[in-house]
Amino acid sequence: MALFGFIKKAQNPNELSFWGHIDALRGHLFRSAIAVVIIAIVLFCYPEFLFDTVIFGPIHDDFLTYRAFCKLSHILELGDQLCFGHYTFKLQALGLADQFTSQMWIAFIGGVVLAAPYILFEVWKFIKPALKDKEKKGATGFIISASFLFIFGVLFSYFIIVPLTINFLGNYQVSKLVENQFTMDSYISTVTTLSFATGLVFELPVLVYFLTKFGLMTPEFMRKYRKHAVVVILIAAAVITPSPDVTSQMLVAFPLYFLYEASIFVSYYVIKKKAKG
């Protein structure tokens, strides 16, 4: 009887074999890649906007973050203590193809960031058949929440973390005899790595949601180790913002701590929903 049931299940046209799942995954990955490539091609055609406005924006004196911090400094009657963003260093392209390859790389990164909602949609379509009807109803919420958190994390890094990091590293000197002249690759790597990594870190509530669904995380566990999490968050903030300025570190630490508390709430919500039905 068990063998008969297995054969019957295997013959079910709605059931996919292992290779069928691989083929379906390949289709989702292909469509996601096409979306990234199309957006990347469009961005590649506008190098002035891509570099002068976006990538090199944080080294312009009139960058939004610098104007906002300076205005806040005057409102708080701190004088020019929070006014920064004046850089004298120059960026250099040392390799023959550096500028071309950098343009391709930044266009690709931009394609990934802007196509993130569609990529998440394809991921959801892949895992959707394995979910129950009640779980499928959360598709829209998952896509919107995950997309919002990722893009918000990227923007938070771009407007807060990146300027603070550049302000510290760009003006740091071990001796006045050493002039700061950085390669374009080094600068681009710093901006993209910080922005992309922060976008992924902001997905913490989504990660906790799935870990709780699979029984690998509970709100009690997160509350128990809240103090440990605070220490980790402060260390992470110190690493992300190498500036010794406490204010800069707190600007990064507070959003990360808020994410942790939000994740506890998400975990509690999942557990409560499980208990109801």
Residue 3 has pLDDT above 60, yes or no: no
More confident residue, 157 or 138: 157
Assign 82 a pLDDT band (cuts: 50, 70, 90). confident
What's the DSSP call for residue 95? S
Bridge-based pairing state of the strands 90-92 and 181-183: parallel
Mean pLDDT of 235-244: 73
Point out which residues pair with 92 in neighbouring strands: 183
- Rounded Cα distance between 160 and 243, Å, is 13
Residue 164 has pLDDT above 90, yes or no: no
Residue 15 has pLDDT above 60, yes or no: no
Buried b (16+ CB within 10 A) or exposed e, 81-114: ebbbbeeeeeeeeeeeeeeeebbeebbbbbbbbb
pLDDT of the residue at 21: 66
Residue 184 has pLDDT above 90, yes or no: yes
Count of helices and strands (H, E) across the chain: 14, 2
pLDDT tens digits along 186-209:
999 999 998 988 898 899 998 998
Encoded tokens for 60: 């312009």
pLDDT of the residue at 236: 81
3-state secondary structure of 182: strand
Domain ranges of the chain: 18-202, 204-277
pLDDT tens digits along 113-155:
999 999 988 888 887 776 666 666 666 777 888 889 999 999 9
pLDDT tens digits along 38-65:
999 999 999 999 999 999 999 998 899 8
For residue 277, which of 171, 151, 178, 133 has the smallest C-alpha distance? 133
